Structure 1
Amino acid sequence: MSRLFPAPLLSAALFVLWLLLNLSVSPGNILLAAGLALFAPLLLAPLRPQHAHVRRPWTIAKLIGRVGYDVIHSNLQVAVKVLTLHANPPRSVFVHIPLDLRDTHGLAALSMITTVVPGTVWSELALDRSMLLLHVFHLEDEAAFIEHFKRVYERPLMEIFE
């Protein structure tokens, strides 16, 4: 059965999504949804990454809450900085952050977090995954920012994925 449906949740989601997007449960749409649900995961199976071993659900919940808080807080900080550009221009810098996190799933989650939080942009990851180049919209203390980034984002992701 797993050969026919390598990703049963993905198949079910594709089936339902196809019907929802077409707003129809006609026999033709059901047939197309079934074909998509069956063949898309089979064709895409070689592209799927290794299975993630996620641990510590409480850490995941705390990280999600912290990222939500940081999104709101950073939005306000960036808004204030943009509105006061003439009086106090931002100090945009590129920051090199040494990484201890090596898991591909953890790094993917870290890249999504930095994309979601306003004022930070993931710029480059070293080939050996030991260094991250991050652009920060406004930074006053680089050492404090690096320590904060590692403590708030990297360490919880290491607990979750490694």
Structure 2
Amino acid sequence: MKTMPKTLFPSPGFSLVVFALWLLMVGGVAAGDLAMAAVLAVVVPLFGARLDREFARIGTLRPVPRMLAVVAWDIVRSNVEVARRILGPESAITPGFIWVPLDIRNIHGIAALTSMITLTPGTVSAALSEDRRYLLVHCFNLKDAQATIDEIKRRYEAPLMEVFP
């Protein structure tokens, strides 16, 4: 049986990511939103530390503000694109699955990557290969698989590799 971590924040970086992703997900910064984000930022890493032996290793938090801005922009942009596709002709929608090869090996970084992909309308992280080298992603409108893979790797995975080496 695992013991409780010796600190309230076993992974401060992960707590920060949980806090930020919750606020992005609810789309608000009201007192209740901030309180729930704070509770989740404490509780989720504590439970995660008890369930998983692989603790988050944090490199640098320098790319986090830009990365969060990129994710926020992509959420807005994707909302508009999905709405445009839904309101347009059905033939304009080309759904599909892609396997994204992963360079990131830190499971916490992979979890953050899958969250970013799923938070962005029009894409959903569907599966992680057993060896953690490939992520299956469903795209609502897949025009160019390689371009989509390259965009995910450049916009999300690369900065996450700095945060989670």
1:1-162 equivalence runs, <5 A? 6-8=6-8, 46-47=50-51, 49-86=53-90, 88-162=91-165
Q: Decide whether the 8 Å contact of 2:49 with 2:55 is kept in 1.
A: no
SS in 2 for 1:157: helix
| TM-superposed deviation, 1:97 | 1.1
Distance 1:49 1:138, change over 3 A: same
Distance in structure 1 (CA, Å) of the matches to 2:85 and 2:48: 44
Runs of 4 or more above 6 Å deviation: none
Aligned-pair identity in percent equals 35
Q: Which amino acid aligns with 1:151?
A: R
Q: State the TM-score, normalized to the length of structure 1.
A: 0.70
Residues 81-105 of structure 1, C-alpha deviations (whole Å, 9 max, x = no match) = 000034x430000011111111011
| TM-superposed deviation, 1:56 | 2.3
SS in 2 for 1:96: strand
Q: Which amino acid aligns with 2:66?
A: K
Distance in structure 1 (CA, Å) of the matches to 2:108 and 2:48: 18
Distance in structure 2 (CA, Å) of the matches to 1:156 and 1:44: 22
- Structure index of larger Rg: 1
Q: Decide whether the 8 Å contact of 2:4 with 2:50 is kept in 1.
A: no
SS in 1 for 2:63: helix
Q: How many residues align?
A: 129
Distance in structure 1 (CA, Å) of the matches to 2:58 and 2:77: 28
Q: Which amino acid aligns with 1:72?
A: V
Q: Which amino acid aligns with 2:115?
A: M
Q: Which runs of 5+ in 1 are unaligned?
A: 11-20, 22-40
Q: Which runs of 5+ in 2 are unaligned?
A: 11-31, 33-45
